[in-house]
């Protein structure tokens, strides 16, 4: 009596599971009747399989149901949301730009105020509204008397409101330097370089671009995730 070959054990295993054809099954059953080792091997295989089938089935320790978050599913997005997203980005650019330009305006007027306050006696730093109106009236007036005056005359004269309006462009006090300069030179201080004029709008645009970029990346990441899913 020799122990069954592995091929025989394979056939016995298939026989146990009912995987043999009727002819193979009949042939094997005849062999089992004649060969005690085959019969013993079949019995042991059946016992082994029986033990495995007796393994207790455990209940799952918890429910493994998935939440929308776990599944990476977002709630349906209304159609107008993308439009709103773009609009919010554009609005932010406009807001910052407006804020910036407004601040630039305030900064420049704020700079003019001390000059007005320092205007020679009598005027006493009048209302800001008057000061802001001054350049419009003064600009053509300065063309006539200013170049004709001498330094001494300018110093000796006590300026009145009327004279001030005529002689002081942009509500600045008549200084000696201004008096001797030609009219074209008097406008020079208005063109001084103000960096905020560029920084604020630039910052606004930059932030706006950043917001759009973040939004775009967000959208792309979500689409990629959906495609993968």
Partner 1 sequence: MDEPALILQAQHGDLEAFNSLVLAYQDALYNTALRILNDEDLAADAVQEAFLSALRALNSYRGGSFRAWLLRTVTNACYDELRRKKRRPTTPLEPETADGDEVESPRWLADPNASPEESLDQAELEHAIQHCLENLPTDFRAVVVLADIQGLDYIEVATAMKKPLGTIKSRLARARLRLRECLQGFRELLPAAFRLEEESSL
Residue 123 CB coordination number (10 Å): 20
Secondary structure of residue 160 in the 3-state scheme = coil
Work out how close the CB of 201 gets to partner 1 at its nearest, in angstroms, rounded to a whole number: 45
Q: What is the spatial distance between Cα 108 and Cα 41, in angstroms, rounded to a whole number?
A: 103
* CA–CA separation, 67 and 69 (whole Å): 5
The nearest distance, CB 30 to partner 1, in angstroms, is 16
The residue (of 70 and 136) whose beta carbon lies closer to partner 1 is 70
> Which C-beta is closer to partner 1: that of 70 or that of 148?
70
Nearer Cβ to partner 1 (19/150): 19
For partner 1, the binding residues (CB under 8 A) are: 6, 9-10, 12-19, 43-66, 68, 70-71, 73, 228-229
Q: Which is nearer to partner 1, 31 or 115 (CB)?
A: 31
- Dihedral class, residue 118 (left if φ above 0, else alpha if ψ from -120 to 50, else beta): alpha
- Is the distance from CB of 135 to CB of 164 less than 8 angstroms? no
Q: How far is the CB of 82 from partner 1 (least distance, A)?
A: 20
CB of 226 vs partner 1, minimal distance in Å: 10
């Amino acid at each position: 009596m020799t122990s069954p070959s592995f091929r025989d054990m394979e056939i016995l295993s298939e026989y146990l599971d009912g995987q043999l054809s009727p002819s193979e099954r009949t042939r094997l059953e005849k062999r089992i009747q004649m060969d005690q080792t085959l019969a013993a091997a079949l019995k042991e295989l059946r016992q082994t399989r029986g033990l495995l089938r007796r393994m207790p089935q455990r209940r799952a320790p918890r429910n493994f149901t998935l939440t929308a978050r776990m599944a990476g599913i977002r709630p349906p997005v209304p159609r107008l949301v993308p439009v709103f997203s773009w609009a919010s980005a554009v609005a932010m650019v406009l807001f910052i730009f407006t804020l910036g330009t407004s601040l630039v305006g305030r900064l420049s007027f704020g700079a003019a105020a001390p000059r007005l306050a320092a205007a020679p006696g009598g005027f006493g730093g009048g209302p800001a509204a008057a000061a802001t109106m001054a350049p419009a009236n003064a600009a053509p007036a300065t063309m006539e008397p200013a170049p004709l005056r001498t330094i001494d005359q300018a110093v000796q004269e006590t300026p009145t409101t009327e004279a001030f309006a005529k002689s002081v462009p942009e509500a600045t006090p008549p200084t000696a330097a201004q008096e001797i300069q030609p009219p074209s030179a008097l406008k020079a201080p208005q063109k001084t370089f103000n960096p905020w004029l560029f920084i604020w709008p630039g910052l606004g645009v930059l932030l706006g671009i950043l917001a759009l970029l973040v939004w775009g990346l967000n959208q792309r990441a979500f689409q990629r995730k959906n495609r993968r899913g």
